[in-house]
Structure 1
């Protein structure tokens, strides 16, 4: 019997990060976060899948022509690849960019009932669905996390969304995560229940001090306050730790305002306000040996199954609590346990009624006396920041991860380092086109024959924030690390005046009066 061919995919991407808008203002270049999956989407849906993409962003993508050209060329031998292949791929990529630099969610910008640009963008979405559905395509709406506004848009367009229902958003809170870990037999750090007052928090934290813990992590219980910025670290001195009874509680209460806030833009009074609104949990700070921060990424399938997608060791800044990058795959020492625990969480989510979408699970790994132990930290009911590098790497290599979490092509294993935070003040003023030109004309460029090299992402933020991201694929971790080191050197050379890229006047970044739509090789540069 002949199998029916798979329907071509027509995918709309509105990768809106729907955390607290004030939080987005404090994350450098965060307004450009929706751009992170652009390259991975082009590689997987267009180049590998032969489908069509409509990718929505706001603010405007800087050097949009050059960025799309760059991603389209990755699997066709670079800029000198087959022009016909690149032209065909370009015709299947449509960008809709709104000139809105505010920290509002991308979904709010697109669905703004009073915005002319938003109305034009929505019309482009409707046309895209109509054209490709009439051609027999599988039209869908992809977004980063459960979202009521985008679910409403999906219903209006008559297409399915890619994440779980927004009614399950509370399952992604800190307190709910601890409940899921407890129900699945995953160890967690000693901690408290959910506290809604400073007095209640002091009692819970005092109990942890009494049990011998001097460093205590305070976590705001809100799915919208992510990136580690909702945390504070309380360090209790000997003078307080030696107290007992009510005196200890009073000592902890007095010490709480001196806790170190990861979000340096808020005060203790602000933190207390968030505590009273969302609640806070306190956890003992795990220490005493080698420590790492592995994560698991999975997917709940529509048929009621759970899939393991990838594992990573995360890289953090800001007191070790704010994500900046990752290494793939997670250490072999604990990878099998990591996958087991991640799948347990997925099955628990199914039992709780979550029936589709992506999820991630963060852990703390501690090595003591030569053995590693994993502690559950947090469940993320959404895509995670490791999605775009893994999707790009697996798409470029044309393989999914093996059952034991590796990327292997014809017997060769590939690993990578990825960063969203290649940042320096002197990078400001560089342009994506310059980064692209420098990398593609250097030995660092991704080589589709070898399957190794550097791929850039999140480039628009370099112009004003001096920040961009990159994926560095190698056949071992030393090669991947060396690629990242040399990329930073190349960026330093560009910033110091040794610019190898094209000079494009800054005036070409002037705002456009309407959403810019890009479908083919002849496009406006902005």
Structure 2
């Protein structure tokens, strides 16, 4: 048997989403979020680079062998050659704790066994000359310590930099590099301070504000609330104190993006983390483009991708995206994103993913971008983009496109293809249906549908997909057809009364 060449990649993936534990309890299928990157990891590390992968989940990925074979087969040429180089390791823990907590739990014998498997994998691959790394989703103190104990580098920025991802710090960074931001306040530590600051915004003419918890623990807009100030008429005397009392009384009527909590819950979170308020930009802010970048090991900044995000829940919550972002503002998006990356370097951040969200406003002079949020971590767009580029074998061009043999590729991605009728479907059913239809990814044509996060369909009726076409119209058509296909799968099941508790 021929030995693998020295320097091949070996990756341990513990894709722990380390947001608020209470938020994870409320998000549908959140305990399965770490599965989102398994397809990308298999395609890029094993199929594309000829390396080895150890991927950790908790709870176990459903029908894991079939899912692994599905991803191994997507590039073409079958999956037999790569099967021995993919190792799935799991814990029987379906709680909403962080995956890192589950793996590093000192009281759980199964966690100790998983850690031993990881150490054996790292030691074996390192002896064989591999470039071994620990992959995780965001800066993480526990995983940082674990990587140090293993003697391998992690792939995200160091945990002391986490505060740079707060809402107020992001606004400061935007303005420091010449990027406009919506009108807003500094950090407020309680509802009284918040009411005083919002009253000043009302006196300045703002009729609606979005309140944002000043924390990195509430991703996807779920730490936000909308407050309509239209009924609060500033007194003619400009009595700030009187107006602040009106605002304070109105705060409990704010519309919370996270519908599973109360205003009292939200007010308690303000006490814990602070909050800012920003003007609610209406009308022209019809789009929410985002930039994804990376700080390289060599101390540089690279533009990775751009997307137009698909948002729900009062245009606050991420559910999917289109690649690439509109050509109307894509170059500005890339320029602004690189400015932020260089500013992060100046702040001492020297590695890892970062994402920058914007509001796109159409004006008489063209599109204007306002800085919205900075995410010092991977974002929800990463698994789709890395899956697609791994399958195509290309990176984005300088102007943010994907070209293969002179032909462009675009895609639509969603993490929220969801319907109560899908409850009880199995990952293998989705795989067989898509692979057996005209929709499945074709490695020759470099187009089609790729599934992800399939374990969530059984209990939650939810899964994800990325639909790759020659343009966004074709990608949208593939997504519509995929929904129709799965609706057809669900109908016989619904008529038979299948219910999974």
* TM-score of the aligned structures, taking structure 2 as reference length: 0.96
d(CA) in 1 for partners of 2:168 and 2:232? 30
Matching residue of 1:360: 355
Matching residue of 2:305: 310
Q: For 1:293-316, what per-residue CA distance to the aligned partner results, in whole angstroms no more than 9, with x for missing partners?
A: 000000011222100000000001
Q: Does 1:463 align with 2:430?
A: no
d(CA) in 2 for partners of 1:197 and 1:104? 28
* Equivalence map 1:16-165=2 (5 Å): 16-76=16-76, 81-82=77-78, 86-165=79-158
d(CA) in 2 for partners of 1:292 and 1:470? 22
Q: Does 1:449 align with 2:440?
A: no
Q: CA deviation at 1:369?
A: 2.5
What is the count of residue pairs matched by the alignment? Answer: 492
Higher relative contact order (CA 8 A, sep 6+): 1
Matching residue of 2:12: 12
Q: Runs in 1 of length 4+ with deviation above 6 angstroms?
A: none
Alignment RMSD (CA, Å): 1.6
Kindly indicate whether the alpha-carbon contact (under 8 Å) linking 1:46 and 1:89 is maintained by their aligned counterparts in 2: yes
Residues 278 and 488 from structure 1, CA distance in 2 versus in 1: closer, same or farther, beyond 3 angstroms? same
d(CA) in 1 for partners of 2:316 and 2:408? 30
Matching residue of 1:281: 276
d(CA) in 1 for partners of 2:235 and 2:400? 47
d(CA) in 2 for partners of 1:20 and 1:399? 36
d(CA) in 2 for partners of 1:484 and 1:14? 29
d(CA) in 1 for partners of 2:454 and 2:363? 40
Q: Does 1:193 align with 2:186?
A: yes
Q: For 1:7-61, what per-residue CA distance to the aligned partner results, in whole angstroms no more than 9, with x for missing partners?
A: 1000000000000111011111111000000001100010000000000001110
Matching residue of 1:483: 478
Matching residue of 2:248: 253
Secondary structure of the residue aligned to 2:148 is: helix
Kindly indicate whether the alpha-carbon contact (under 8 Å) linking 1:333 and 1:372 is maintained by their aligned counterparts in 2: yes
d(CA) in 2 for partners of 1:26 and 1:240? 37
Q: CA deviation at 1:227?
A: 1.7
Kindly indicate whether the alpha-carbon contact (under 8 Å) linking 2:6 and 2:130 is maintained by their aligned counterparts in 1: no
Q: For 1:318-348, what per-residue CA distance to the aligned partner results, in whole angstroms no more than 9, with x for missing partners?
A: 1111110000000000000000100000011
- Answer with 249-258 or 476-485: which moved more: 249-258
d(CA) in 1 for partners of 2:270 and 2:485? 44
Matching residue of 1:240: 233
Secondary structure of the residue aligned to 1:207 is: helix
Matching residue of 2:370: 375
d(CA) in 1 for partners of 2:445 and 2:365? 36
| Gap runs ≥5 in structure 1 | 500-504, 510-526
Secondary structure of the residue aligned to 2:479 is: helix
Q: 1:222 aligns with which of 186, 191, 215?
A: 215
| Gap runs ≥5 in structure 2 | none
* TM-score of the aligned structures, taking structure 1 as reference length: 0.91
Q: CA deviation at 1:239?
A: 4.2
Matching residue of 1:170: 163
Kindly indicate whether the alpha-carbon contact (under 8 Å) linking 1:214 and 1:241 is maintained by their aligned counterparts in 2: no
Matching residue of 1:297: 292
Q: CA deviation at 1:370?
A: 5.9
Q: Does 1:179 align with 2:159?
A: no
Kindly indicate whether the alpha-carbon contact (under 8 Å) linking 2:412 and 2:475 is maintained by their aligned counterparts in 1: yes
d(CA) in 1 for partners of 2:293 and 2:203? 38
Residues 242 and 396 from structure 1, CA distance in 2 versus in 1: closer, same or farther, beyond 3 angstroms? farther
d(CA) in 2 for partners of 1:99 and 1:303? 39
d(CA) in 2 for partners of 1:384 and 1:71? 21
Kindly indicate whether the alpha-carbon contact (under 8 Å) linking 2:6 and 2:129 is maintained by their aligned counterparts in 1: no
